[in-house]
Every structure is written in C-alpha cells, then in structure tokens.
Chain A
C-alpha cells in the first residue's frame, strides 16, 4: 500500500513538474514578413538563445497571415510577438501590448520604409503610368506593404486608389510582392525596403531589373511587443537579455543570423508616425477592416 502511495506521489509530482514546465514556456509570434522557411531559419537561433539565457523554453511561431494576428494572439495565448509598424499599433490599441525592443539593422537604422516599385523595362515611370495596371500589395494590415501606398496615392490626388488599377491583390509576404513584379505577374509592387534589399544583396540581377518609384518616410521596423499579462519582472529580463546580447559572442552570432547589429529599446511614442500615416490614408484604426 505504501509502495502504491509512493508511486502515485511520484506520478503526481512528475505531472505537476511537467505542467509547471509547460506553464513556463514563452510563445512569441512572428508576422509572415517573408518566405516562412527563410524567416524561421533567421529566428530559430534567437529562440534557442532566449531559451538558454532565460532558463525557460522560448518558442517562435509564424502567424499564418497579417490579418489574423490579433485573433491569433488571443487564441494562441501568445506572450508576445514581433509586430510590424501597423500591427504594433493595432496590438497596442486592441490588446494593450507593450513595445519592448526592435532590431537595429546593419545600416544602423531601426526603421523600415515602404517602396512602390516596377520592372525597369515596364515603361511605368510615375503615378500617371500606373493607371489601369495590376498592383501587388502585401496585406491590408501592413504599413510598408499597403497603407503607405494608400496614403501616397491619396496625397497624389487619387481619391479611390484601389479603383485606379485594373486589378489588385495581396501576396501575403513582402518578398512575394517583389517576386510578383519580377515574374511579370503584377506591374507594380508595394513592399518593405529591408526585405527587398536583402533579396537584392543575394541576387544583383533583381536590383538591375527593379525601379523604385516612391518611398515612405521611415517607420518603426519589426518590434517585439509583450503581452500585458506577462509578469513585469519576466518582461524586464527578456528586454535585458535582448538589449545586451551584442555584448556576448554567442549573442552576436545569433544577431548576425537574424540580420541585425543589436536590439534597441522601443516605446509607444515611436509609433506616432504610424498614426500620422493612418490619418493620411483616411484609416480609422478602431473601424478599419484589416482582415
């Protein structure tokens, strides 16, 4: 009988330890910025680094599409997510998340620009030539891949930007918008400069074939925002590890793989420029149908 009680006690202890361990896992979402295989390859070392430094399992999960991000944050009970400029604002407004850090790009900036681009041989030189053509956006819930372009067209006197084109569609990722134009599936593309530059670096032929027609102002780049439910001390630890990882040789390797020099602190105030952009695009964040 004693033996049986001992076994039961051990089993209970095991299960409670397991459930405790499960509770200790941190789950962070990633917006589908680029091809998911490439993106996972970039972020995997960071999850391993955080796991080892925090002493608790840290997992990254790529959210299927921009438009689902807020719903998925809630349903998957995420502890945080690397959001884009617009989705950060959306998450601040709808989920009360707190911007914590963002990566510093190799060019020394922590911002991103949106580009409107065409094939160099397309005979499209300006906004007038774009009338009646096909345009590829990234997603309705991206500042650099959609909203900036809406604001740009409206600023140039086009009251109904989507009606200005023969066809428009959303590619779901920034590199896909670039490839749509390169492959001749769309005449015009809208995407984030960082992803475009990365592709140009790997394949200089792409750079020769693409003409940038317009650029947005600098917008906050991908930002790690943490859930308001997460323990304050844990948030501070995560922030501290990320802000100091460039001082650690192992951390520097992880940053290199991520394509960043280091992490810098982020705050809600950084997003005032996004609110201005939304105003120019006539978008009311509370009622905007981003799905």
Chain B
C-alpha cells in the first residue's frame, strides 16, 4: 500500500512538473497583425484564424496588436514599421502587399503571411518568413466567363501599385488570345476611380484582380449590368463568378504555422503552404438577371451556387 502511494505521488509530481514546463514553454507573446482595411476577404480569414487559435493552449499566451492600414504601399509600410518598433514577437500579414511592405523593412522578427500571391512573393521571401500562398488559375475564370457569354473585349481592373494584380493582368493577357478576346486595361489607384474608369468604356465582361483597391471598388459596382468575375470574394457586390482560396483553409494553415513558430520552430524550417484550396462560387441569380447562358460545367464544378 505504501509502495502504491509512493508511486502515485511520483506520478502526480511528474504530471505537475510537465504541466508547469508546458505552460512556461510558451511565454506571453505579442503577434503584430497587418490587416488591410475594408477587404472583407481578409477579415473573413482573420475571423477563422482567431477561432482556430482560440481552440489551442497557446491562445491564452498571446496578445494581438492589430494594425488596419488602408491598402496602399505607404500605409502598409508604416504599419510594418510600427510593429517592428513595438518589438512584437511575430508579424502576421494578410495579403501580398502587406507581406511585401513588411519584408522590405527587413525585420528581425519572423514574418508569417496568409493569402500571399505566389508569383508576386518570389522576389521578396526571406529565411525569416513563411506562410500560406496561392495562385489563381486565371485561365479557369476566363474560360468560365467566356462560356456564359461571347466575350470580345474583357476589361481587367487592376492596380499597378499592387504586384499580385500586375501578375494577374499579365497572365490574363497571355491567356486571352486563345479565347479571341481583347483585353482592356482598367487602372484604379483609389476605389473611387472605378466610376471614372468605367465611363465611356464598352466591355463585354470585367475581371477584378486580387488588388485590395479593386476589391473595395467592387462593392460600389452593383448598379452596372456587366458580368463580373472576381479573384477575391465580395459578397456585398455579387460578382457572377468568384474564384479564390478558401478563407477557412487559409486561416487553418496560417494558424498551424504560427503555432509552430510559437513553439520554437524557425520560419525557414516550416515549408510554405501553397496547396490547392480554391473555391469557385457562381452567382446563378445574378447570371439569370443578366440573361446569361448557364454552362453546365459551372454548375457542376462550382463549390457553391448562390441563387
């Protein structure tokens, strides 16, 4: 009996020590977050990210310092500088431009990003950065759009100050000759530019690139009766087709990376995640309202059909 009590005591002591060790292994940390403002897609990822983090033990040890700059390069750089000056433990960036702006500052802290556009980040990655990336299959969205309506002129809404947007424009231009489409480049640097840009423009359809500015502009677009495809979602804008990486999966992958860093892994020890997780959303109600032909492929392949 005495031997049993002694063993039980030892067992309890071991459990207590490992609990103390576990809770001390993760000290109180601060994660600086750059979340470009008014981009609902990033907000959706952030909601999923917080949920995922709350479910883990490390969540209790974290303070979030969130910056919500307007998505232009200067505001994004300023946000990055503030977080560096605040000496946060990790800088967590939403989207390509916030990531590039931060990496250009060469911070000592690990930089983790989510929803980064792979081709645009290639030049900027460092040993101290890793994250979740994606690459939109441009030909798919062009093909689906073309299958609904014969498109001779395709307007592409992009921002030359956002490199992901520029890469997508290039790819659309490479792809369109195969579908006998002419590309009309529509530059916007501020969301309000969209009205001016679309004045006197005659296009059969529009593609909004992943530019944050274009995404904000999309919310002011409802009065136009032109089929719109968007490479970032915008529920309040009802694009006919949207093709974008799943916000939930992006968040889950980013949370897993951040947890690994908090547990001591270096960013260069964690592989970038660029796995396929695209969602194809088709707005059937909007397509019917515009009298578009509904291709069977779209209905069968869509991740979600909005009626």
Contacts and interface: CB of A to CB of B under 8 A. Distances in A.
A183 B178 contact: no
B136 interface: yes
B275 A134 contact: yes
Interface in A31-48: 35-38
A132 B274 CA distance: 11
Interface in B114-141: 134-137, 139-140
A187 B276 contact: yes
Interface in B251-307: 274-280, 296-297, 300-301, 303
Interface in B167-199: 175, 178-179
A184 B297 contact: no
Given A204-B178, A205-B175, A183 B140 contact: yes
B275 A182 contact: no
A38 B295 CA distance: 11
B140 A184 contact: yes
A183 B278 contact: yes
Contacts of A176: 300-301
A35 B297 contact: yes
B143 A184 contact: no
B206 interface: no
B33 interface: no
B214 interface: no
A270 interface: no
Contact of B300 (A35, A134, A182, A186): A35
Nearest to B177: A205
A185 interface: yes
Given A121-B135, A184-B135, A203-B143, A134 B296 contact: no
Nearest to B140: A183
A132 B137 CA distance: 21
B140 A182 contact: yes
Contacts of A133: 275-276
B240 interface: no
Given A119-B137, A203-B143, A209-B137, A179 B301 contact: yes
A206 interface: yes
Given A180-B301, A205-B175, A209-B137, 13 more contacts: A35-B300, A36-B296, A123-B274, A132-B275, A166-B275, A182-B139, A182-B140, A183-B243, A183-B280, A183-B301, A185-B276, A186-B276, A187-B276
Interface of B: 134-137, 139-140, 143, 175, 178-179, 243, 245, 274-280, 296-297, 300-301, 303
- Closest 5 A-B residue pairs measured CB to CB? A184-B278, A187-B276, A183-B140, A37-B296, A184-B137
30 contacts: A36-B296, A123-B274, A133-B275, A133-B276, A134-B277, A176-B300, A176-B301, A179-B140, A179-B297, A183-B140, A183-B243, A183-B280, A183-B301, A184-B136, A184-B137, A184-B140, A184-B243, A184-B276, A185-B276, A185-B278, A185-B280, A185-B303, A187-B275, A187-B276, A203-B143, A205-B139, A205-B143, A206-B139, A209-B137, A209-B139
